[in-house]
Amino acid sequence: MEQVHIIIPCYNGENYITETLNSIFNQSYTQFILTVIDDHSKDNSLSLLQGITDSRLCIIQNKEQLTITQNFNNCVRHSQTDLFCIMHQDDVYEPNYLEEMVEAMNTHKETAIAHCDFFTIDEAGSKIIDFKYELKRQLFFKETEYTFLDYMDEYKMLMMGDYIICPSVMYRRSIFESIGYFDDQYLQVEDWDFYIRILLNQNKILRVNKRLFNYRIHKKTKSQELVKNLVKYKEEISMLTKHYHTAKEKQFPLNFTEKKLYTNVFKILLWDIKNDLLQNEIILAFQKLNFALRSFPYLELKLIVLALYPISLMGKVTGNILDFLAKIILGKKQ
């Protein structure tokens, strides 16, 4: 049995890190080494880690605090085996995750990375159905054991949306030696960017159609969510534009236009706006809507109203605001 290295970047992870580590220690596949890299946590994460006596655990503390992407690259640099994983501090492996993923990577040695189907869990660890992630599951994970597409077909799909759950991925170290590390100009889409680069360099990605991973959904403060989301939308536009033109230069036979890419980002943004309105987060929704109107000026604005207007039936305040918005937008278009 070959060894697998699991590396976890940790920052203020005291609430979940023990559960995460237990899911690793209890793996059916026992040939692994585990490293947690603490990014100067301000809570009790480090003391919790130092109290664990399992010899398979190594603890490292960064010399200085890093961004998310810099932490990911730091994990890659510390990896010691051909196959390795970058686990999140709050997620949970199913007991057979390593066993199934190692078998998948060894069965398909030509693949650069593999990722798997997943459950979603809440902050208490209970399995839940999150509609956005459940939609991803239904669209992309099939009943067959593996999905292994040609790099071009996978590229076309991945440019339409990121369906890979980042901490579910098992990496082959050689891909980083081939195409480089995560691009640290990004704060939110560094993983999506990396997957597309894998495909642009004619490497393959394997989907393991088994639910081997538990992805935790957190409730965020609205101000944090807004800043994070607006950065994400801007980065998505920039990153997808870059890779679209790279594919054109490589003369890939594309079946979509640059405008189609922007439309998909807009749809993601619109989805978030609708969810905010349903939760009566009016100010947050309108801040995002303002960003949408500035970032996607060529889109038919009437579609925004048509998409959001049904929500008016679910709340008087929201409905009145959407009525007002509809008059403004439709009036400008006439």
Tens-binned pLDDT, residue by residue, of the chain (334 aa) = 899 999 999 999 999 999 999 999 999 999 999 999 999 999 999 999 999 999 999 999 999 999 999 999 999 999 999 999 999 999 999 999 999 999 999 999 999 999 999 999 999 999 999 878 888 888 888 878 889 889 999 999 999 889 999 999 999 999 999 999 999 999 999 999 999 999 999 999 999 999 999 999 987 655 566 666 788 888 999 999 999 999 999 999 998 888 888 888 887 787 777 777 777 777 777 788 788 777 776 565 555 555 555 555 455 455 455 555 545 444 444 3
* Burial of 48 per CB tally in 10 Å (0-12, 13-18, 19+): middle
CB atoms within 10 A of CB 302: 12
Nearest alpha carbon to residue 118 among 216, 15, 5, 19: 216
* Burial of 153 per CB tally in 10 Å (0-12, 13-18, 19+): exposed
Distance of CA 111 to the CA centre of its chain: 20
Q: Write the pLDDT tens digit of every residue in 295-314.
A: 776 565 555 555 555 555 45
pLDDT at 221: 54
Predicted model pTM? 0.88
pLDDT at 189: 94
Report how far apart, in Å, the C-alpha atoms of 35 and of each of 24, 56, 76 are: 11, 8, 11
The number of helices, as runs of H, and strands, as runs of E, in the chain is: 13, 10
Report how far apart, in Å, the C-alpha atoms of 88 and of each of 8, 73, 130 are: 6, 14, 19
DSSP string, 141-155: --SSSEE---HHHHH
What is the spatial distance between Cα 106 and Cα 3, in angstroms, rounded to a whole number?
Answer: 12
- Tokens (6 digits) for 32: 């692994």
Half-sphere exposure of 318 (CA within 13 A, CB side): 21
pLDDT at 283: 79
> Could you give the residue ranges of the DSSP H alpha helices within 131-206?
131-140, 151-158, 173-179, 190-200
What is the spatial distance between Cα 193 and Cα 11, in angstroms, rounded to a whole number?
Answer: 23
Task: Report all structural domains of the chain as residue ranges with CATH numbers, in order of start.
Answer: 4-216 (3.90.550.10), 222-333 (no CATH)
- Tokens (6 digits) for 191: 């993983």
